[in-house]
Amino acid sequence: MQKYIKLSTFYLVVGLLLGVFYREFTKLNDFSGVTVLSAAHTHTLVLGFIFFIIVLLLEKNFSISESKNFKAWIVIYNVGVLGLISTLVARGVLQVNGSEFAGLSHIAGLCHAILGVALIWFAVIVNKAVKIYDSKQVDKNNAKG
């Protein structure tokens, strides 16, 4: 469970730093327009910090890491989140600087797709873990009665 606390803390620090970076970078460049750089802070805190606190709670209650695919899932999820955050930051910096990178939309789309698959996969893992937990509870109650 330490792994989930460490991941959560990592994303907390990154999310807070991105909030400071957004504020200071736009101020330094006298930018007052709209940029997706502001979304990097929130996305990091929700998809990283809060999400891994939830993973920790689910692990504590349902042992979700016992799923045979859990290790692969955690890698894919982190790749998706880090890719998403990276593309948000890159696009935001480009917007503030008034430039563009043509392939960035494709990279961002790929990262969103990876994250979407990982979230669906996570729902499947949690669903199976809860079913196993429920069946163990039924077995316990039948043994008592």
Residue 28's domain spans which residues?
2-130
Q: Specify if 96 maps to a domain.
A: yes
Locate 80 and state its tokens. 């998706």
Spatial contact of 92 and 37, defined as CB atoms under 8 Å apart? yes
For the chain, the C-alpha Rg in angstroms (whole number) is: 19
Q: What is the residue-level pLDDT of the chain in tens, covering all 145 positions?
A: 899 999 999 999 999 999 999 999 999 999 999 999 999 999 999 999 999 999 999 999 999 999 999 999 999 999 999 999 999 999 999 999 999 999 999 999 999 999 999 999 999 999 999 999 998 887 777 777 6
Q: Specify if 135 maps to a domain.
A: no
Q: Specify if 143 maps to a domain.
A: no
Q: Specify if 144 maps to a domain.
A: no
Q: How many domains are contained in the chain?
A: 1
Q: Specify if 142 maps to a domain.
A: no
pTM above 0.85, yes or no: yes
Question: Whole-angstrom Cα distance, residue 132 to residue 144?
Answer: 19
Question: Whole-angstrom Cα distance, residue 132 to residue 143?
Answer: 17
